[in-house]
Structure formats: C-alpha cells, structure tokens
Structure 1
Amino acid sequence: MHGEVKYPEGFSHFDYVNPDAPKGGELRMAVVANGYDSFNPFVARGISAAGVETYLYDTLLASSDDEPFSVYGLIAESIETPEDRSYVIYNLRDGARFHDGEAITAEDVKFSFELLTTEGHPRYRSYYQDISKVTVEGPQRVRFDFSSTVNRELPLIIGQLPILPSHYWAERTFGENGLDKPVGSGPYQIGRFEAGRSVSYQRVEDYWAQDLGVRKGRFNFDTVTYEYYTDDTVALESFRAGNYDFRVESQAKNWATAYTGDAFDTGKITTEAIEHSRPAGMQAFVFNTRREVFKDPAVRKALAYGFDFQWANQNLFFGQYTRTKSYFENSELASSGLPAGRELEILEPYRDQLPEAVFTTEYAPPSTGDGRTMRDNLRDALTQLRAAGYAIEDGTMIKKATGEPLAFEVMLFQKTFERVILPFKNNLEKLGIDVAVRLVDSNQYAERWRTRDFDMTVGVFPQSDSPGNEQRGYWHSSSAKQDATRNLAGVSDPVVDELVEYLIGAPNRDELVQRTRALDRVLLHGHYVIPNWFLASDRIAYWSFLKRPESVPKNGADVNNWWVER
C-alpha cells in the first residue's frame, strides 16, 4: 500500500509457513449457530455455511500476514498501475482454472465485479464505488478505471474480489442457489454435508495454485469439517471429548477453569495464548441511532455510565481483558490524549461542527477505577440526563417534553453475554430506566441485524493495519439507511463523511495514521457505542496431532497454515 513489499519476485513461500508441511488428515472445527441454509456467502439473504468463501474461491491477489498491507499475485500474475493509480490492469495466469477445469478469464473477472456490485451484498457497492469502468483487453487481461485518483488502495482491494465462473452462473439465479454446490477455484470444494448441521470441504488434489509462493505450505488438510452446535457449553464439552480438533476460546471463564483434566495433563490437548499485534478494532454495545431514544448523543453518553467494566473484568473475566478506548485499538492508528500537530490541523476546519470535547477532553469510557464507584457514575449519568431534558417521576426516567419513559431493548444471540448485560440493566434501572434483554436464535438475529430491527446490540468493527474503503461501510452516511451494511449505529454525519473520504485518500503511511486518528477521535466523541474490551492474544486449544509453524506472523495464528502429524 505504502512503500516496498517484503517478498521479492518469485519468492517460494511466506516466512510464517512450513513449505514442507505434509498434506493429509482432517481438521474438525465447531460453529455455534442455528445452522445454515446457503452456500452463497456473497448475498445479504440467507445464512451461509462457515468456510465457503475462504476455501472455495480464489482472488486476483493474496495478502501477507506479516506486513501492514501488501498483496501478491494469485489469479493475477502481474499488475500494471501508473504512479497516480488512476487505473489498474491485471494480467491473469495461464494455468488459473475453476474446479470444473474451465480457465479463469478476464471475462470472469468483469462478470464477478458486475454481479457482486449489482446483485451481491451491499458492502460490495460501497467498497468499490470509485470504480468507473471495467474493460476486457484480452482473454487474460482486464482493466479497471477509477473515478478518482485520491483512492490509492483501489488496485490492492480489487484484488480481494472473489472470482466467480460466468459459465456456471449463466444458467442460474444468483442468490437462489441454496445448497447447490457451487463451482469455485480455491484449494477446496464442498464434500459431504448435512444441511444446517455440518459441512466438509475436500482438498483439490490438483489445485492449480498449490505451488505458488502465496499458497505453498498452506491448506494442508485433506478435509476441513465444521460441526454446528446451538450451545457453546455443549460445544466445549464436545471438544474435550475429542469430537473436534481445534478451538478458539472466546470466554475468559472457560479459559480460566474449563481446560483441565487428563487430556490436558498428558499433553493430548495443547492450550496456548498466542500474542498478536493486529489491530483489535472495536467490540461494543452499539446504539441504533435511527431509534428516537438514541438520537441525542448526550443520552448515549450518559447511558455508558451504567456499564461497569472493572467489575465485569474482575468478577466475570478473571482479569484477562483490557478496556477498549479506540475504534483502532492495539495499533498506532488509535487516537490518544488531545489532538496535536498534524491531527489537530486535520480537525481544525471542523471545529464549529464538532463537540468542544473533541479538542478539550481526552476520550475515556466511564470507569469505576481510581476510587470511583458505580454510585458516582450513576450520579454523573443522572446529572447528564437531567441536562438532556429528562427527569425521574414516580421512579421512572421520562423525557419531560413528551412524558415518554426512557426505555430500550438489548438484542443478543449469545447466551454468554447475558451475564454481562444484566448488571448493566440493573445499574440503569436504579435510575428508573427500563432495559429489556431479548435473547434470540442466530437466524432471527441475522435477520434483525440486517434490517436494523434493534435498539441496542453487541457489534464488532474489525480493523486492519491499513484502513480504507471499508470505513465507508462502517460510518459513511451513504450506508446508514441501507440494510445489511456494517453501519450498525446509523452514523450519519457530514464531518465523518469527509474524514472517511480523506482517510481513503491518504498518500502515505504517516498521513494515513494521522487521518485515522482524527476519524477515531470524532467517532469516540459521537458516543455511538459503549466500548467493551480486547485481548492482545489468541486463546487456542487443539489436539496435539495438529502441528503449527514455529513462526507466528503479527496477525496471529492461522490454522490454515497447520498440518496433521501422528
């Protein structure tokens, strides 16, 4: 993205893989969800089976995991782009082919782009909106022209586009194929499956890209299987019993108490907390600002005082987590202190449109540390709510202008989050605020998530070391009113819009950092979320016949680099 790539032309493999890893065996993993009903991950409707996009579809380019944002040829053998990056040309490899033996052509690339940006998930339209024209210049040569020369990451992110076979979809309706096995070009194809309960991927033995530097030492298992569970407690016990092989643990309590017994004492199961340096992004309780109750940022700010992270970390999480204070947590992209230098220069033109606190107050989520108590926090919340036009009458917090009670619902699908939300609910009820907690199944959750049918929910905004076009989908007003975008909070602010576009147009790494910090700071002071917590390591457990490379890249452990050794 900025500067030189790490790996030279013709490199044999990435540094963090074992190029001599043996092929064979099976990797079994678990998914906690109410099943799936589709093998199409590219549309908003339906629930796609785990792993489809990862294993079935190749892209023009492949990223490395030990650089901020560098890409190398996969389907594309070479790339041509001018200094101003006003267009890009991809020259495809002679041997690139789909699973049915058909060659991957420039027409397939154009077809994939047009299909995904017209009939695919809305994120594709937002992500690639600066592409003005696609031209097939030959059987293996395709050109993308851009409407702006400011967006310098376009030549890289077009390379992330999954390439679909035009001949396969010519006779089918995209998005209505359900559980028909699609044709892809990646290292695996769909094998056996039991609708909604399990799905297996079989390694393609003559996979066309298996000896390329971006694939050598990767995708070593003959079979990758996902088993579906509706309850994580059951899934954990199933892992301990040997019914699947690899688990990423997301619950601190489990990590502290559940990984014990003979299999662990004898070394049959290995547990590791592998440190990583990838951005943690933001996990949070997200306010749906499309709802009247959350339109006022002063109200959102006040409600955040009801969440006691310190209590939760000590009593529920065994002290394992750190409070999140940035949308770009665990990276140099995170804002801190007060704006200064170049970041202040970026924000200064918007001073009259931004809260004064952006320039005068360091953002920090409410805390019960340093001698403060929840009583102190609730007192501050009450003061802020009164200033926002609320009052307590007969034990109920009401908006004085309308008499409407302050009430909202928190939508969850993970039962484990109830123990975190219920203390938050109880704290706010002391102020006369009515908080309902609704646990729904994963299918209902997905539908309500897509249609924005919630007041508050738990949301995750993952980030990379090189933020860019995806920020439109998170924060830009153009995504606020669309279903199925990642703009869960409904952020619609002209200053945020301009900062997003400014970030996308960053000409170098230093400027990208400063522009990202400016956006981060404005979002934080918009109080769109109540930040949760993060962990700078991956907690993993696996049966010991699984082996991994000694070298772990900054992005953390990737099981697709592992192998079986019995």
Structure 2
Amino acid sequence: MGGEVRLSRRSLMALGGAAAAAALLPARAFANTPTETKLHGLSAFGELKYPADFSHFGYVNADAPKGGTINFAPPNSTFNQSFLTFNTLNSLVLKGDSPPRTEYCFDSLMVSALDEPDAVYGLLAESVTLSADRNTYTFALRPEARWHDGSPLTAADIVFALKLYKEKGHPNLSQALRWMTDAAAVDAATVRLTFSGEQSSQNILAVAQMPIVSKAYYTANDFEAATMAPPLGSGPYKMGRVSAGQFVEYDRFADYWGRDLPVNRGLYNFDRIRIDFYQNRQAAFEAFKKGDTHFREEFTARVWATGYDFPALTQGRVVKREFPGEKWPDMQAVALNQRRPQFKDVRVRRAIGLCFDFEWTQRTLFYGSYDRAQSNFEKSDYKAEGLPSPQELALLEPFRAELPAEVFGEPPLQPVSDGSGRDRKILGQAVKLLTEAGWKRSGEFFVDDKGERLKVEILAEDDGLVRLFTPWMEKMRTIGIDATIRQVDQAQYEQRQNDYDFDFILLHWSIGATPTEDSLEVLYHSRSATMPGMRNYPGTQSPAVDALVAAAGRAQSRAELTTALKALDRVLRTRLDWIPTYYLANHRVAYWDMFGFVEPKPDYGFPAEILWWFDKERAAKIGKA
C-alpha cells in the first residue's frame, strides 16, 4: 500500500481506449475564454461576477473612512513568513524568516475577488488578451502605475520580476513559473507572457497575482540577501518602523497610484498596520487583553472556552464572536516523513494514526469545539464520499493494478474511540499492524531485524502543540513505539521544515476554492518531495497521485475539477500520506470594539486588516480614540 505506483499498459487498456485517452491527454487552458479580445478579468472556468465597468467589489464599503491603526495578530502567512520572529524583510526567497503582510507593499498584474472562487481582475494590468492557442497572455498596463519613489512601473519591471522568481524565487513562486517559456516587454506598457502549453488554466491566475518588484532596485541590490533594508515598493502600504524580531509597521502610502481603482476602492483603510511578535501564545494573549493588540483570531480551544473573562470583555469594550469560515478546502493533518525508512510502510503510519484519540482530545482539550477531519479537502465538495463515480473511476482505473483495492470502495474513515483515552480495542489494532509490518516486541519497545527501536520524534514549535501532542506520544509509548517530543524555537522549526529534518510534523493548509495544479503540487507531487521549502512533508512520490494532480490542472469545468480531486482524495486517504486530525468550521475572533466592517464577510477570504476600517465614534466610547 505504501509502495511506488507505476502505470502499466495492461491497466491502461482495461479502460477501453477512448475513456483512457480522454483521462490522460492534456486539455487547452481557458477553453471557454474568448481569445484575441481584451478582457478585464480572468476565471479558470470563464465565470466572472463583475462587469468591465464595475465600481467596487460588493463586500466592501466604498466610502469607508481612512485613518487609525490596527495592531493585529496575523492568522495566516505565505512564502517564508513567520508568526513568531523575523530577520529579513524579503518574503520572496526561501532564505530567512520575514514578517507577514510584506505583500501589501507590492502590486501585481491582477488581484482576486474574495466573493468568487477563482476570479481575478486587473490591477497593474488594465486588460489581458489571450492568443488563439491560449498559450500567450498579453497584458496592457495602466500608464499611471508608479513606484513609491515616483518612478513609472513598466513592463520591464514585470518581465524582470517574473524571470527573477523563476530563477531565484521562493519555491512557491519558481514552481508556478516553470511553464512560462518567455516574458517580454513589447513596449513600456505591454507585457507578453508565453507558456509551454502544458500549463493549466489556473496557472496564469497564480502568476498574475505575484508581487512585482523593481528592476532598478534589484539590479543594484542582491535579491537573495537576507536584509532588513525595505525594498522599493508600489503598493498601498510602505514599510514603516521596524525592529527585527519585535514589531513591524506598514504605513498607508498616501500617494498610492492605484487607490481609486475599482479593485482597491473601500480597501486598505488603516493608516497603519502593526504586527507585534511574541515567542509564546500566552504573552500574545496578554497583549490583546491589555489592548496593545486590537484583533486576534483564537486557535487554542482552551483559551477560547475559559480565557475570555477579562474586564475589557465583560465591560463590552472587547467583542468575542465567530465569523463563517471560507468556502474552500481545509486540511489539518500530521505528516510522517517517508524519507525515513521506518515510515514507508502504510501499516506503521496507520498504527501511529490510531494512537490519536480524537474523542478524548475533543472532550478534554478542545472543549467540544472541533470536528474530526477525514479528508485532505475537508469542508468542500472535493471530499470523497461513498463509492467512486463513473467519472472518478475513469481516472483511477489506469492505476488499478498498482493501487490498493480500498481506493475503489468507500473512502477510509478515522476510527471512533470510546473516549476513555485508552481504548484497548483501537490500540490493539495498532499493535497488530506493527506486527504485520515486521516489527517485533523486545522488552518495552518494538524493534526491527537489527534490534533498532521504532522511534518517532514529534516536532513542535510552541507549548500549545506540546500540550496537544503529549497524549498522542504517551499512547505511542504505551503500545511500544519510542516516541518523544522535541520543542524548538521558530527559526529551527522553519529550517527543519524546509530541510525535511523531522519524523512527525503538523500542517494546516488552505489551497483556495479552486485549487491550482501548482498549489496541489506543493503538497502532493513527486517533484516537490525532493525540493527544499515545499510542503510535501510526507515525501509522497506516486505516479497515481501525480496523474490526478495533473488531471485537476487539466479540468475545463468545476465538475471536472471536483471529480479529479475526489479521486485524489481517495488515493491520499488510502495511502495515509497525511493523517487527518481535526478542523474548525468558523473563525473564532475577538477584537476591541473600534472597527467598522461590512457583513456578511466574503466567502473566500477574511483579511480584516484590509477589509475593516477605524470607527472613531466606537473607538471614543471605549477610550481608544
């Protein structure tokens, strides 16, 4: 079950000719999108909500006042960004730890709409034109685009930035650009990007949203250097005061060239966005209680259930509430590093997974606030359920000889314990699996043929993870696995993640409502298993998985995408590359009552720091004016 899968001629022929060919041949990107026509936006499946003359997005207050400061704890990050510390201001390379939200200092060709699953609209680009073969995208730039020093942002900057990322950028950037064969400046206001024909429709959406850096700046400065010098930007914010590892401030750029564009109207309302860095969660929570931090999303169930009883909340100065989660797939799971021989056998991975007692954890540690995760695409239509559909079987059949029989049945579910914290039946199943995998009991622990113990080192970066993992570790030791927890600081944690220097690690990952081939490859593709800095923590290397990721990239409709991802989910859940843990349906948020915002929140994002605004009257009432 854990071995390599190979495509054989026999399994391909079992499909019966035409169906197999349809499943494996590449499809044309943007098959439903008009060509040789100037377009104001793009969607993977040609579905745009907003017309060319739209004035602003529907989820914003177009007349929101500007001003005030939000000091917030970022709930998410990208590229090399860290929540706990930073030692560089360059987020666009693998080296170093940078602060979240540096992306607000840069513009991109296009930006996403947060109330659509995959639509992007022009920012630097006024329009985009697709060639007849749908492999070349010509962007007409807005002539008013400017860098913060007043110099024009031109096609030369965009060409330079994309080529730079392809060669030296963070792996999430360079991998998305691998299908780009050429980037050319037709003139100062026109960029032509050419792709190989192997790219998916979603690929250009990722490329069009990449932050653009200055050619002049990075010709004079080393792009790969870890530096605290803020680079030249063009976006709605400019780097303000910075203290390495302590705080960063982003100041709204008053002369921002794009402030009145439809894609920006009603957004970026705070004069200052500040992020403070804390080494542990309790210190960060105390800062919020004192009012130093204004907005906080709570990720610790115990604190949410018992910690919000401080004076500011009981006085009504702080609001505690939940906001709906995004309508996109969510994955929180543990990876066992299959680059290490003891985890290659799926029976070992399954035995370790059986030692996680969700029912006990839910009652004892989570205060009943989480749901049990089963899928790599939880909370979405991409989650596999029931028997495979005929469409799913068309993708899976070529690999029948190599895939476990379970893939073609009901998708596997994680066990339900008796909630005692020591379910003998389930732990007995784990012992049986280890024995079947060839491990033998020698005294207290299982050992291999050489007498080496079955060891698992759990990597953790803070006290909250140690508290979560300790019962899991104890159950592993109960059945004979030599399990330990190693807590390291943020810098070591990031480095060990990037170098795949771990046994057992937890990841929470969201890949968007319309997962792209690039975002899927980061997690699942064989190619990413050997590239430092990717998120294929288990080291998955499977031709079947690779083929299903490619099928998702070839999808020409949402129905085809759903089919491919359901089939992928079946394979991943049977292989148990990722052990699903738990998920939270909503955002648990607390904030000082000094903000205005539009309700309901958009379905595909919740960046409060750019959606909300400072409300002077509310702030005055709570003494925060």
- Normalised-by-shorter TM-score class: over 0.9
Residue 134 (structure 1) aligned with residue 183 (structure 2): yes
In 2: Cα distance, 1:296 partner to 1:177 partner: 40
Q: Give the structure 2 partner of residue 46 of structure 1.
A: 96
In 2: Cα distance, 1:45 partner to 1:436 partner: 29
- CA-to-aligned-CA distance 1:303-349 (integer Å, 9 cap, x gap): 11000011111110110111111111101111112212211221111
Provide closer, same or farther for how the CA distance between residues 89 and 175 of structure 1 changes in structure 2, counting only shifts above 3 A: same
Provide closer, same or farther for how the CA distance between residues 510 and 229 of structure 1 changes in structure 2, counting only shifts above 3 A: same
Greater Cα offset, 150-159 or 253-262 = 150-159
Residue 7 (structure 1) aligned with residue 55 (structure 2): no
Provide closer, same or farther for how the CA distance between residues 503 and 337 of structure 1 changes in structure 2, counting only shifts above 3 A: same
Kindly report which structure 2 residues correspond to 1:164-203, keeping only aligned pairs within 5 A, or say none. Answer: 164-176=213-225, 178-203=227-252
Kindly report which structure 2 residues correspond to 1:497-536, keeping only aligned pairs within 5 A, or say none. Answer: 497-536=546-585
Which amino acid in the other structure matches residue 329 of structure 1? E
Provide closer, same or farther for how the CA distance between residues 358 and 244 of structure 1 changes in structure 2, counting only shifts above 3 A: same
Provide closer, same or farther for how the CA distance between residues 509 and 82 of structure 1 changes in structure 2, counting only shifts above 3 A: farther
Residue 490 (structure 1) aligned with residue 539 (structure 2): yes
- CA-to-aligned-CA distance 1:271-308 (integer Å, 9 cap, x gap): 11011242242111211111111111121112110000
Q: Give the structure 1 partner of residue 9 of structure 2.
A: none
Q: Give the structure 2 partner of residue 434 of structure 1.
A: 482
1:430 aligns to what SS in structure 2? helix
Residue 57 (structure 1) aligned with residue 57 (structure 2): no
Kept in 2, the 8 Å contact 1:275–1:556? The answer is no
1:36 aligns to what SS in structure 2? coil
Q: Give the structure 2 partner of residue 106 of structure 1.
A: 155
Kept in 1, the 8 Å contact 2:329–2:377? The answer is yes
Q: CA deviation at 1:150?
A: 5.5
Kept in 2, the 8 Å contact 1:85–1:155? The answer is no
Kindly report which structure 2 residues correspond to 1:397-436, keeping only aligned pairs within 5 A, or say none. Answer: 397-399=446-448, 401-436=449-484
In 1: Cα distance, 2:529 partner to 2:521 partner: 10
Kindly report which structure 2 residues correspond to 1:145-544, keeping only aligned pairs within 5 A, or say none. Answer: 145-148=194-197, 151-176=200-225, 178-368=227-417, 374-399=423-448, 401-468=449-516, 469-544=518-593
Provide closer, same or farther for how the CA distance between residues 192 and 431 of structure 1 changes in structure 2, counting only shifts above 3 A: same
Q: CA deviation at 1:50?
A: 2.2
Kept in 2, the 8 Å contact 1:22–1:220? The answer is yes
Q: Give the structure 1 partner of residue 73 of structure 2.
A: 30
Provide closer, same or farther for how the CA distance between residues 277 and 26 of structure 1 changes in structure 2, counting only shifts above 3 A: closer
Q: CA deviation at 1:82?
A: 3.8
Kept in 1, the 8 Å contact 2:572–2:578? The answer is no
Greater Cα offset, 125-134 or 180-189 = 125-134
In 1: Cα distance, 2:88 partner to 2:341 partner: 35
**Count of aligned residue pairs for this structure pair:** 564
- CA-to-aligned-CA distance 1:227-284 (integer Å, 9 cap, x gap): 1111111111111111111101111111111112331122211111011242242111
Q: CA deviation at 1:187?
A: 0.5
Kept in 1, the 8 Å contact 2:411–2:574? The answer is no
In 2: Cα distance, 1:110 partner to 1:450 partner: 28
Kept in 2, the 8 Å contact 1:382–1:431? The answer is yes
Which amino acid in the other structure matches residue 64 of structure 2? A
1:30 aligns to what SS in structure 2? coil
Which amino acid in the other structure matches residue 139 of structure 2? Y
In 2: Cα distance, 1:27 partner to 1:508 partner: 40
In 1: Cα distance, 2:278 partner to 2:371 partner: 29
Kindly report which structure 2 residues correspond to 1:75-114, keeping only aligned pairs within 5 A, or say none. Answer: 75-82=124-131, 84-114=133-163
Kept in 1, the 8 Å contact 2:242–2:249? The answer is yes
Which amino acid in the other structure matches residue 612 of structure 2? W
Q: CA deviation at 1:361?
A: 4.0
Which amino acid in the other structure matches residue 532 of structure 1? T
In 2: Cα distance, 1:360 partner to 1:22 partner: 56
Q: CA deviation at 1:202?
A: 0.6
Kept in 1, the 8 Å contact 2:359–2:419? The answer is no
Q: CA deviation at 1:390?
A: 1.4
Q: Extract unaligned runs of 5+ from structure 1.
A: none
Kept in 2, the 8 Å contact 1:17–1:551? The answer is no
Greater Cα offset, 496-505 or 363-372 = 363-372
In 1: Cα distance, 2:72 partner to 2:243 partner: 15
Q: CA deviation at 1:60?
A: 0.5
In 2: Cα distance, 1:269 partner to 1:556 partner: 23
In 1: Cα distance, 2:187 partner to 2:315 partner: 60
In 2: Cα distance, 1:515 partner to 1:190 partner: 42
In 2: Cα distance, 1:350 partner to 1:480 partner: 21
In 2: Cα distance, 1:193 partner to 1:125 partner: 28
Residue 74 (structure 1) aligned with residue 123 (structure 2): yes
Q: CA deviation at 1:58?
A: 1.0
Q: CA deviation at 1:24?
A: 0.2
Which amino acid in the other structure matches residue 216 of structure 2? H
In 2: Cα distance, 1:33 partner to 1:340 partner: 42
Kept in 2, the 8 Å contact 1:87–1:155? The answer is no
1:191 aligns to what SS in structure 2? strand
In 2: Cα distance, 1:370 partner to 1:443 partner: 36
Q: Give the structure 1 partner of residue 26 of structure 2.
A: none
In 2: Cα distance, 1:276 partner to 1:345 partner: 33
Kept in 2, the 8 Å contact 1:302–1:384? The answer is yes
Which amino acid in the other structure matches residue 16 of structure 1? Y
In 2: Cα distance, 1:69 partner to 1:482 partner: 27
Kept in 2, the 8 Å contact 1:273–1:540? The answer is yes
Residue 17 (structure 1) aligned with residue 67 (structure 2): no
1:497 aligns to what SS in structure 2? helix
Residue 551 (structure 1) aligned with residue 594 (structure 2): no
- CA-to-aligned-CA distance 1:361-413 (integer Å, 9 cap, x gap): 421122215999621111111111111111212121112x3322111101110
Greater Cα offset, 20-29 or 541-550 = 541-550
In 1: Cα distance, 2:63 partner to 2:315 partner: 28
Q: CA deviation at 1:471?
A: 1.1
In 2: Cα distance, 1:174 partner to 1:313 partner: 46
Which amino acid in the other structure matches residue 408 of structure 1? V
In 2: Cα distance, 1:177 partner to 1:396 partner: 45
1:500 aligns to what SS in structure 2? helix
Kept in 1, the 8 Å contact 2:157–2:213? The answer is yes
Q: CA deviation at 1:556?
A: 4.8
Q: CA deviation at 1:194?
A: 1.4
1:470 aligns to what SS in structure 2? helix
Residue 562 (structure 1) aligned with residue 612 (structure 2): yes
Q: Give the structure 1 partner of residue 173 of structure 2.
A: 124
